[in-house]
Amino acid sequence: MIKFKGFTLAEVLITLGIIGVVAAMTLPSLIANYKEKEVITKAKKDYSIVLQALKLAQADAGIPGDNSVLYAGAETANDVATNFSKYISNGHLCLSTSNDKLCKDLNYQALMSSYKNKYSRLSLPAIILPDNGVIFFSLGNKCVDTVVTGTSLDSDGNMIYNPDGTPVTWTQTRNDCGAIYIDVNGPKRPNKFGYDAFGVTVWADKIGKSQWNVFGSNSLFSILSGGKLQYKNVEEDD
């Protein structure tokens, strides 16, 4: 007669303990990878909505490839958002004067992707997408050459000064139409440019990276080309 020897209680507990340790070590990584894949999928989708709106507007105006059709005659960012809303199906328009409950939370800080521990505010006007992503709008130089000046900043976003104590300044000629910021999950955290929020600049003939990578445009164009998200892991309180 064949006798079968079972596991002792101690052996079972040791095995379960080992499984628990392995799970505790690998589960956070698996969850993080899943969340990143989810963010990448939504970012690509929301960006494609922006591109589609531009193409539809160009077709209506009969000027293929000219992004300025959505900025022509615009005096405020509200005008730009209103123009875009005509070409975004099932989007909810939130102007800076909106006070309905869907729009009230769209005023929050997002961590910049390059400057250390510095934030930029995302605020109305915006369009809430059907997948709860949000597109924010700002009006730039209306797609025409404009001389602009500003103060120079170092890699951490701090102002640079001359030996005499005056700020170092720069002067450039820019012809951007404006900027668009995409937050794939709206006010829901973590609100980090380059991770779940991305900013791009719109010109008459193209959409491209922002002047500086503080709004995560490098990260967006990385995933659009099949790469990975590019952002700094900055410790924050949850």
pLDDT in tens, 13-54: 777 677 766 656 665 665 567 789 999 999 999 999 999 999
DSSP β-ladder status, 197-202 and 169-174: unpaired
What rounded mean pLDDT belongs to the chain? 89
Residue 232 lies in a domain: no
| Number of domain units in the chain | 1
Q: Which of 5-19, 43-57, 172-186, 206-220 is least confident?
A: 5-19
Residue among 89, 24, 23 nearest 52 (CA) = 89
Residue 236 lies in a domain: no
DSSP β-ladder status, 169-174 and 146-151: antiparallel
Higher-confidence position of 146 and 29: 146
Residue 203 lies in a domain: yes
Residue 22 lies in a domain: yes
In 62-115, which residue ranges form alpha helices assigned H by DSSP?
77-85
* 197 CA to centre of own chain: 2
**What was the pLDDT predicted at 212?**
77
- Let me know how long the chain is: 238
DSSP state of 184: T
CA angle 34, 188, 108 (to 5 degrees): 140
Give the CA distances from residue 225 to residues 35, 58, 138, 178, in Å, rounded to whole numbers and listed in that order: 19, 25, 26, 23
**What was the pLDDT predicted at 235?**
45
Q: Which two tokens stand for residue 147?
A: 């001389």
Which residues pair with residue 207 across a beta bridge? 202
Residue 86 lies in a domain: yes
Residue 176 lies in a domain: yes
Domain that holds residue 141: 9-224
**What was the pLDDT predicted at 116?**
84
In 7-100, which residue ranges form alpha helices assigned H by DSSP?
9-61, 77-85
Residue 47 lies in a domain: yes
Q: What angle do the packed helices 217-224 and 9-61 form, to 10 degrees?
A: 100
Please answer whether residues 134 and 128 qualify as being in contact, where contact means their C-beta atoms are separated by less than 8 angstroms.
Answer: yes
CA angle 183, 212, 33 (to 5 degrees): 45
**What was the pLDDT predicted at 18?**
74
Helix (H) or strand (E) holding 138: strand 134-139
Residue 115 lies in a domain: yes
Q: Which of 21-30, 135-144, 148-157 is least confident?
A: 21-30
Mean pLDDT of 140-161: 93
